[in-house]
Structures are given as structure tokens and as C-alpha cells.
Amino acid sequence: MRYVYFVVEGPHDVEFVARFLTLHGLERVKHKPDLALFWVPVLPTSWPSPLGSTDLLKRVQVPAFFQNQDVSVAIDSATSDSQLLRSAIGMRNTVNQPGGDELQALGVVLDSDQTTSAQERFTRIAKGLADANLPLAAAPGQVVQGPPRIGIFVLPDNVSPGTLEDVLIDCAEKQYPQLLVSAREHVESVKAEIPPYTQDDLKDFQKPAGRRKAIVGSIGSVLRPGKAIQVSLQDNRWVEGEALELPRVKRFREFIDSLLAPPPA
């Protein structure tokens, strides 16, 4: 059995990665007895409470697990570069046991935005991993042989500024073109300067990726009304058929495939 760990930036990204795992026949593990023993150390046994924290909203974090007969994958969600790094390094140190199986590959998936370029974010994560004695990743989207094998993918395409939603809009052009048109019209009809909006109402909408997230959310709301976009990603055809031939999607698929592939003979 090969073991691969992904840490990604949010629950949407978890389900996006999961869609590519299903292409390899991996299925979601829903019950502990079905989970590879390798991952048992990363199952929480108590409610985590950071030192000095009084946060009652802190939730117990459990990775999403997927496996087939050859590969077992855990996907974690984290925010900020420091949390992505802590999860990647901490999880690897937790699962590797002396004399036991070791993590074959470690993938990090994150966004770039208008203020921090893809290369900058990649460099921060690559340096952080290397400082923890992990292999130095060569470039965004490229997988270096380990052990463990390491890859860092900066959405949407390792070069352009953007987020997962840019890729999903590409996918919607192929899979849900009519919905995409109407969702765009709906979002474009929102005029922030016209009352009765308060400043707080459109705070997130007016962020750089706000409109694109709203378009994807609108499509998701039609496909799975009342559910979060990750449910639609899980249930609907975003990453299927012609969408798999899109350049950005192909690049991401190759990234996942490289991390999941058997070690070289």
C-alpha cells in the first residue's frame, strides 16, 4: 500500500482533489474499521484546545480519506502558509513509525492571489518544507522524487493569479454552459454602488476573487440547492468528460497522478 498526504487550502479544494482521486478508483473511507492502520495516528482522540485558547467554536479536524487496494490518501484542509506547513510537517512526523510504513508522497495545493504571486507562495512553502528536512520542490506543479515525493501546486495554473474558482469556471464552460451564462448575468447585475447594500453586505463579494466565487456558488446552488459548493463538487459533473481535457485541469491531473504513481523500480 502506498500512502499519500495532501494539505489544501479549504474544504472546496479537498473535494476538488478528491475528484481526481476517484479517477484512480479511490473511494471515500467513511468508517474507521475500513481505514488503513497507517492513518490511525492522525485520528483525534481528544478535543484539541490550543494553549490559552477559550475558543468554543474550535472543531475537531479529521482528514478526508480515500483509498483503493494500492493507494491510501488523506486530505487535510488548512488556512495560511504557516498552517499548511505545520500540517504537512506535523502529519508526516506523526504517521511515519520506526520500522513501519512511510509516507510516499506529500502534496500541497494552494491559491495565488493579486498580492502574492504563484511563485512567491510556492517559494515560501518549498522553503518551509526544506527547512524541515524534506526534499526541496523544484517549481510550482512539478513533483520531485523523495522520499517522500513532494509537489506544490498553486491554483489555478501555477503561473496566473487566481483561485480554484478560475478552474471551476473553465470546467463550467464545458459541463454547465447555460448555467454559467445565467450565473454570470446574475452576478454582473449586482451593482455595489446602488443602495440598499451596506458596506458589510458586499465585503466578500468585492474581494478580488469575490465575483468568480459568486458565479461558482450560483451554479452550485442550482445543482445542489442549500448545500455548500463542496457538496456540488462531490456530487456533480464539474470535473468529468470534456472538462478533463482543459489545459489547467490536465495539468492538475498530471500533478495528482505523479504523486500517486508507484515508486520508480
Partner 1 sequence: MPLPIEQLDITAFRSLRNLKLGKLGRVNLLVGVNDSGKTSVLEAIALMSRPLDSSWWLRVSHQREPSSVPLRRLSRTDRIRWLFPPSNSPELDRADMVIRAEGRISTTAMTARFKRVARMRPLLGTASERETSGARLHIEARIADEVRARTFTLWQGGPVVYPSRTARELHCEVVLAYHHWMPTLPIRGYSQARLEGTSQDLTTLLALLDPEIQGLEILQPEEEPVLYVTHAAHGPVPLSVYGDGIRRTLLLAEAVAKAKGGLLLIDEIETGIHFSALGGVYSWLVRACRELDVQLFVTTHSLEAIDALLAADTTPDEDVVAFKLGQQGGQSVVKRYGEDQLKWMRFERGLEVR
CB of 149 to partner 1, least distance (A): 22
CB of 128 to partner 1, least distance (A): 13
CB of 82 to partner 1, least distance (A): 11
Q: Would you call 4 helix, strand, or coil by DSSP?
A: strand
Pick the closer one to partner 1 by CB: 92 or 251.
92
CA distances 205 to 166, 200, 211, Å, are 15, 10, 6
Q: What's the distance, CA 212 to chain centroid?
A: 17
Q: Where are the alpha helices (DSSP H) in the chain?
A: 11-22, 81-95, 118-131, 164-175, 177-188, 210-223, 229-235, 247-260
Q: How many Cα atoms occupy the beta-carbon half-sphere of 178 within 13 Å?
A: 2
CB of 52 to partner 1, least distance (A): 9
Pick the closer one to partner 1 by CB: 42 or 239.
42
- Spatial CB neighbours of 190, under 8 Å, sequence gap ≥ 6: 202, 205, 214
Distance (Å, rounded) from C-alpha 190 to C-alpha 144?
45
CB of 93 to partner 1, least distance (A): 5
Pick the closer one to partner 1 by CB: 47 or 226.
47
CB of 83 to partner 1, least distance (A): 9
CA distances 134 to 100, 104, 256, Å, are 19, 12, 19
Pick the closer one to partner 1 by CB: 65 or 122.
65
CB of 50 to partner 1, least distance (A): 5
Pick the closer one to partner 1 by CB: 100 or 195.
100
CB of 53 to partner 1, least distance (A): 8
Q: Residue numbers of the site for partner 1 (CB under 8 A)?
A: 41-51, 60-61, 86, 90, 93-94, 97-99
Pick the closer one to partner 1 by CB: 80 or 206.
80
Distance (Å, rounded) from C-alpha 179 to C-alpha 34?
38
Residue pair 162/155 in contact by the 8 Å Cβ criterion: yes
Pick the closer one to partner 1 by CB: 51 or 265.
51
Distance (Å, rounded) from C-alpha 126 to C-alpha 100?
26
What DSSP line would sit under 95-130, residue for residue?
Answer: H--TTS----EEEEEEEB-SSS-HHHHHHHHHHHHH
Residue 37 cell numbers, joined: 492502520
Pick the closer one to partner 1 by CB: 61 or 114.
61
Residue 21 cell numbers, joined: 482521486
